[in-house]
Structure 1
Amino acid sequence: MIANPAASKDIRRLVAQGRVVPDWEKVNILKRALRGLQAVGIDRVVAMPDSSHLVGRARDDASLTLGLESLDMPALYSEGDTIKAAQMMEAMGVGCVITLGGDGTNRAVAKGSSSIPIVAVSTGTNNVFPTMVEGTLAGLAAGLVVQGGLELSEVSVISKMLEIYIDGQYEDMALVDVALSRERFVATRAIWDMSTIYEVFLTRAEPSSIGLSSIGGRLQPLSLEDSGGLYYRIGGSDRNHEAAKQVLSPIAPGIVTPVPIADWRLLPEGERVPVEPR
């Protein structure tokens, strides 16, 4: 289990109406997931240590008998913890990981391991990768995958990803989107002002989502199962790129705004797209 205590607590609680998932609710979700795991015969769970001790608090329940092992790793309370935890879990032969967090949490897991199946429970903001699955069902699904009760090829999809190269060298990856921004400071990577963005690359363009993916979904819906990705350029970002059309999109919780689009197209799998800094 990898639970991110910082999920759903960024600046979008102030600049938008992003929901807050408090630690006690994350503990309740984890407790239900543990009960689901136990119900299908799982007797040992491995967890990433975190600053709020979420999994440990969830395990502190008289109805739970399964063992809990906390990974022997220093907790620096950064994205690096999640990457390291996923690497350790892969080395230990963990059969499935339940994550609590958002797109960023699952991106960090994927950076640490590309082979462990993920049951991603959404507790973040503008989530596209994780879903609002009930904790009990997440535990049941993960447990059945580990026990061989579910055929992985029938119940899972291998996620697409975007790879970022700088001067020909691999630099980073993303599961959902890559955005080029004029902002000098990255901070939490939360976006609510589209005037700061000029180009976006997506693996998924979901009309039912919020954020950059929802904008793409109004141009051409693209699901996890569809091949390739989608690119769009924001119009009006400079005088050479006037808007060809506008789409009305929810770019953050409670913020719906027309977004000018100068250009967009589908991206075939494997295509490399050069970009210029601005």
Structure 2
Amino acid sequence: MPLIGIIANPASGKDIRRLVAHGSVFDNQEKVRIVRRLFTGLAATGVDQVCFMPDYYGILPRALRELNLDMKVFPANFKPYGNQDDTVKAAEIMAQRKAACIITLGGDGTNRAVVKGARNIPILPISTGTNNVFPAMVEGTIAGLAAGLVATGKVSLNQAAYHSTLLEVLVNGELADIALVDAVVCNERFVGSRAIWDMKTISQVFLNRAQPDSIGLSSIGGLLENLDPDEKRGMHIRLGPKGKHLLAPVAPGIMTDLFVEAMEFFGPADQVQVEETPCVMALDGERELEIPAGKQASVRVSPDGPWVIEVTKTMKAAQEARLFGGIENLADTGQSQPVLG
């Protein structure tokens, strides 16, 4: 039976945006409850192996205390240090063990770290915050069912998922880092508190997805044009005082006046230059990469992002295949049998 990975980030939903904006705090006990519901869905599809990321709070062990499962559940074998490297390391181990998919509980940054460790493993991302674009708010039981259906082959990856692009940041022509949603140029020199909250520091925005109902930095592009995450192109926006006015929801409960000087799409063969150095690149909403003076940086869009499992698409395919039983049509007087388990 295939292996499922679970990476639940105990630090997600608690950053500075809860102080400077109106985002909700997502506590770890709620993550415990979500994981319990995940296991209900996974067990119903016949999954019997789960590898999880160890963490300082013990999200998975706490979730298992009230469950009686006929399932092998074990931690990825490494010592956690309570930082982003834990997520990368756990994803690497799950990839080495050939996990069929990884379920994540966290935000855009958590999923970015997972992809850095296991770009070729499908992800089912569950949002645990209010400033996220990559993961979605999903009920845990149904998410477990969807992950299990894909992992066991009852629903194919092509039926269940989309193949996302991602953004690659190059420094002097070498790959330096990636982003799943947005890469932003900040006219600062140091990473600092990581989270972006002062829009006056931003000069360029690079996106690989943009929808009009997005929150955060990708909302800037979403209010200009649509860009689906499986489109093989990116969006570049230049901000500046001489641009046209745009009112955007850049954080939960925060509407900000911005000025857009230019917007353009670019393809995988293009490298769009970072126009200002020294600077800091914010990746998926958090300042991560310092670009010193004298270095040249650019951004390109890669078509080789992760497969992302969508719960609605997966459950629709299961419904159409009658995987949970039910009648074939209203004229059917017999009883069909579920094929799960």
Q: 1:233 aligns with which of 238, 244, 248?
A: 238
TM-score under structure 2 length normalisation: 0.77
In structure 1, the residue matched to 2:269 is 270
What is the rounded CA distance, in whole Å, between the counterparts of 1:205 and 1:170 in structure 2?
Answer: 24
Aligned residues: 272
Please give the residue correspondences for 1:153-232 in structure 2 after superposition, counting only pairs within 5 Å.
153-232=158-237
Instruction: Label 1:37 to 1:181 Cα distance change in 2 as closer, same or farther (>3 A).
Output: same
Query: Following TM superposition, where does structure 1 have runs of at least 4 consecutive aligned residues deviating by more than 3 angstroms?
Result: 62-65
CA–CA distance in structure 2, aligned partners of residues 62 and 215 of structure 1: 44
Say whether residues 1:127 and 2:126 are aligned partners.
Answer: no
Query: Which moved further from structure 2: 119-128 or 104-113?
Result: 119-128
Deviation at 1:221, TM superposition (A): 1.3
Contact 1:235 1:263 in 2 (8 A): no
Distance (whole Å) between structure 1 residues aligned to residue 225 and residue 76 of structure 2? 42
Q: Give 2:53's aligned amino acid.
A: M
Q: Give the aligned residue type for 1:269.
A: P
Unaligned runs of 5+ in 1: 237-241
In structure 1, the partner of 2:37 is 32
5+ long unaligned stretches in structure 2: 1-5, 278-341
Superposed displacement of residue 125, structure 1: 4.0
Opposite residue 251 of structure 2, the aligned amino acid is A
Alpha-carbon deviation of 1:138? 1.0
User: Partner amino acid for 1:231?
Assistant: H
Q: Which has the larger radius of gyration?
A: 2
Structure 1 contact 247–259 (Cα < 8 Å) conserved: yes
CA distance in 1, matches of 2:201, 2:131: 18
Give percent identity, aligned residues only.
49
Between the aligned partners of 1:222 and 1:40, the Cα distance in structure 2 is 34
Query: Which residue of structure 1 lines up, in the alignment, with residue 76 of structure 2?
Result: 71
Cross-structure match for 2:258: 259
CA offset at residue 216 of structure 1? 0.3
Q: How far apart are the structure 2 equivalents of 1:165 and 1:265?
A: 19
Q: What's the offset of the Cα at 1:164? A: 0.9
CA distance in 2 between counterparts of 1:47 and 1:175 reads 22
Bigger relative CO (Cα 8 Å, ≥ 6 apart): 2
Relative to 1, partners in 2 of residues 1:133 and 1:169: Cα closer, same or farther, differing over 3 Å?
same
Mapped to 2, the partners of 1:246 and 1:67 lie a distance apart of 56
CA distance in 2, matches of 1:184, 1:61: 48
Q: Which residue is equivalent to 1:49?
A: 54
Aligned residue number for residue 239 of structure 1: none
Q: Secondary structure at the match of 1:90?
A: helix
Of 111, 128, 147, 2:116 maps to 111
The residue identity in structure 1 corresponding to 2:140 is G
Q: Write the distance in 2 (CA, Å) between the matches of 1:270 and 1:75.
A: 38
SS at match of 1:251: strand
- Residue 78 of structure 2 aligns to a residue whose secondary structure is coil
Secondary structure of the 1:97 match is: strand
Per-residue CA shift, 1:92-121, capped at 9, x if unaligned? 111111000001000011010111110000
Please give the root-mean-square deviation of Cα atoms over the aligned residues, in Å.
1.2
Contact 2:36 2:67 in 1 (8 A): no
SS at match of 2:34: helix
* Structure-1 separation of matches of 2:131 and 2:227: 17
TM-score normalised by structure 1 residue count: 0.94
Q: Distance in 2 between matches of 1:255 and 1:63?
A: 44
CA distance in 1, matches of 2:192, 2:31: 24
Look up the match of 1:8: 13
| Aligned twin of 1:59 | 64
Match of 2:144 among 139, 142, 146: 139
